[in-house]
A and B are shown apart, each in its own frame.
Chain A
C-alpha cells in the first residue's frame, strides 16, 4: 500500500464546477504539499500546510491531522485548471517528500 493515496485518479469536469481532490496518508508527517503539474513537466507548489486550511484565489486546501486526510478544492473551475494535481508529504522521521500518484483533472469549456 502506498504511503500517500489520492482519489480520484482522473477527474473530468465542466467549466464552473466545484472540484475536490482527496489525499490520504498513512505515515507521520511534518507537512503536506499540493503540487500542480501542467503538460510538459513544470511543477508548481500550490500549498504547504501542517494544520487547518489555506486559501489562494479559487484554490482551498484543508488538512485533518487526526484523520490523516487532506483535500484540495477548486471553486469555479476553468479549462486552465486542467493539470495533474499531486499530493506529497514530508515525513516527520526524515523530512523526505513522498508523493501520491497524482490526479489528472480535465476541465471542459
Chain B
C-alpha cells in the first residue's frame, strides 16, 4: 500500500507570493491533517479535513487555507507569504475516526526569501 505523498518536496518562494502544497493520503483514508514544523515552535496543528469538510482548525491566520477533494487528496494554500512561514509542512492521513493512528507524509520544506 502506498504511503502518504506530498508534493513538492522543496519549494523556495519570496515574500508576498502565494504557495499551494499537495497531499495524497493512503488509499481508503478519509481524514487529512496538516501541520507546520519550525525549530522555534515545533509541530503545530494547522487544520484537518474529513469528507471534503474542514473538521478542525488550529490557531493560524486566515492566510493559511486548505481544501479536500472527493478523492480525499488535500491541498493547503498560503497567501502573502512571510519570512516566518518558512517551515516543514507535513500532512498526515488517517481512516477518519477522531483518534485514529496518523500516517505522516515526508513533508514539504518551504523557504521564504
- Count residues of chain A with CB under 8 A from any CB of chain B: 23
Question: In the complex, A43 Cα to B102 Cα: how many Å?
Answer: 10
In the bound complex, residues from chain A placing their C-beta under 8 Å from that of B101 are 33, 45, 48
Question: In the complex, A102 Cα to B37 Cα: how many Å?
Answer: 12
Contact of A86 among B43, B58, B100 (CB under 8 A): B43
Q: Is B109 an interface residue (CB 8 A)?
A: yes
Is there contact, CB below 8 Å, between B99 and A90?
Answer: yes
Q: A88-B43, A97-B45, A99-B42 are in contact. Are A45 and B103 (CB under 8 A)?
A: yes
What is the CB-to-nearest-CB distance from B56 to chain A, in angstroms, rounded to a whole number? 5
In the bound complex, residues from chain B placing their C-beta under 8 Å from that of A44 are 104
Question: In the complex, A44 Cα to B45 Cα: how many Å?
Answer: 17
* Secondary structure dominating the interface of A: strand
Question: In the complex, A100 Cα to B37 Cα: how many Å?
Answer: 12
Interface residues of B in 1-50 (CB under 8 A from A): 33, 35, 37, 42-45, 48
In the complex, the number of residue pairs spanning A and B with C-beta atoms less than 8 Å apart equals 51
Q: Is A69 an interface residue (CB 8 A)?
A: no
Q: A31-B99, A48-B101, A90-B98 are in contact. Are A96 and B107 (CB under 8 A)?
A: no
User: Chain B residues in contact with chain A, CB under 8 A?
Assistant: 33, 35, 37, 42-45, 48, 56, 58, 88, 90, 92, 98-104, 106-107, 109
30 of the cross-chain contacts (CB-CB < 8 Å) are: A30-B98, A31-B99, A33-B101, A41-B90, A41-B106, A42-B107, A43-B90, A43-B92, A43-B107, A45-B101, A45-B102, A48-B99, A48-B101, A50-B99, A86-B43, A88-B43, A90-B98, A95-B56, A95-B98, A96-B56, A96-B58, A97-B33, A97-B35, A97-B45, A97-B102, A98-B45, A99-B42, A99-B43, A101-B42, A102-B42
User: Chain A residues in contact with chain B, CB under 8 A?
Assistant: 30-31, 33, 35, 41-45, 48, 50, 86, 88, 90, 94-102
